[in-house]
Amino acid sequence: MISIDWSAFLNVFLAALLGAGSIVLFYALGLRMLVRAGRVPVVTPAEFTDAITVLSEKEIKRAAKQAEKAARKSPLSEGQKTLAFAGAIACFVLCGAAVIGGILLIVLG
């Protein structure tokens, strides 16, 4: 007969839920602070042969221009921008630490 340890199952479920939530939270906060710091991340899309949509050069240039415009319009002072950038880096480090911690729990546990 198979028996299930429901308390262990609940512990794993809650740990996974908390881990996933913290990764998403720290990443979203990091991106938000990065944008507030005036460093809008512009990533040019990779072109695949079977892609549904491929951005043209004109669309890529327009996105980069909008990012530069948003960076210039930031109402923060230089000190506040530096602090927001440091906060963004801290959030990304916490996000990475959560991922590495999860991997270590799987490998070592």
Please say if the pLDDT value at position 13 is more than 90. Answer: no
Alpha helix locations (H) across 1-109? 6-36, 57-72, 78-108
Give the C-alpha separation, 109 to 107, whole Å.
Answer: 6
Q: What is the pTM of this model?
A: 0.68
Please give the mean pLDDT across all residues of the chain.
83
- Stretch 72-99: mean pLDDT, rounded? 88
Other Cβ atoms closer than 10 A to 26: 20
Q: Which of 105, 100, 93, 109 is nearest to 26 (CA)?
A: 93
